Structure 1
Amino acid sequence: MKFITEDDLRILFKKEPFTSYDLPAGTRLTPGARQFLVDKKIPISDDPMIVKRKNEKPAEKNEKAQEKGICQDLFLLKKKTLQAQFLETGLELLNRDVLLAEQIFDLERKLSDLGKEGREVEFPPSPCTGFHKDNFNQPYEDCFEITGFHAQSEKGKEILLLHRLRCSVRELAAETENAGLNPVINRLSQMICLEYGGKTCQRKK
């Protein structure tokens, strides 16, 4: 295989300046030669990114763009339904626990901005022995299984409402593969644990 050097290109460019370079078959550019073309801002025909763009059909580009758009639209559509569930739950909790209802409304406001272009939503973790700033954005299973025992407890109604929201959020996260929902799930887990009366983390290890 023949290598094209920087000197070869300089001589060629001096004879007749060029704005693009077609690499002859069976040849390779030395690092110096490639850097020479880069410095001159001269595109190279064998550049992997250029070749990829040339070989990619317009229809394929459109299909990829449409698929991405459909996924984003689906997420935003289902997120609206989820927000409605949060508002409904917050309203139902108002007569039982105003502070808990306010936390639900706050999560709904954060959900509203999630997925919007140019919006970075932060979910600062609340004090908890199981979750902290280093793991709050990670996916976790339920801290403990919710059963009829919890439903019959003093805060059974609140626990079930929070658990139902958590299931809905986790379902959307799994369906759309959106890691931005993990902090919402983890925050709901914290709230469930506190409603049950736990002061120590009960998250499964």
Structure 2
Amino acid sequence: MCPPRRFGGTLFPAPRRSTVVAFGFVRNTACRTSTSTRHTSGGVVSTVIVTGGAGFIGSNLADALIADGHTVHVVDDLSHGTREKVPADAVFHQVDIRDQAAMAALTRDADPDVVFHLAAQADVRRAIEDPAFDAAVNVAGTLNVLEAARAVGAKVVFASTGGAGYGEYEGLDVPTPESAQTRPLSHYGMSKMAAEGYCGLYERLYGMHTVVLRLGN
């Protein structure tokens, strides 16, 4: 295992399994270092990709990362988000995450330290009406993001779901621990849990550092 590196005053080792909820980042690419690394008062300056960066959460995340001195690439197909929400200082790519070649190319060119993956099909009713589309975005699209990130040695922070993953609330502790069993009751919840599973698989097979955030409403 490569030694831990420091970011934002906190040490983040490279774990061997997917981490749920907590997150931090600094790239581990064969423990390489660069003499050209820039620093801010908060830590190492990184290059990041934010998929879904034209949406509410993604655009605010991009704003915060830029304010902290990071180089930010926003990826969004604008099917729900708007171009106006993308920070002016971000590099914008109008790309659908289902486009494997486009995702691979832009990730290779950006060479990010971390990919924040927020792009998703999040309409539960649309998922019921068209489960194949839901899976194409949330499962196959996530695989495209993981493959692109793996090719450049980037870490991935994946925005999953909270309630849709746990399903029935009866018998669950409140607040609900990450160790609680997931029982998705919808196509959307199932596709998000499948994407979580792939994040864990890429940790185990390839040693990638992936982080899953189960965001609640």
Give the TM-score normalised by structure 1.
0.25
Kindly indicate which of the two structures has a greater share of residues assigned to strand.
2
Kindly indicate which of the two structures has a greater share of residues assigned to helix.
1
State the structure with bigger RCO (CA 8 A, min sep 6), 1 or 2: 2
Give the TM-score normalised by structure 2.
0.24
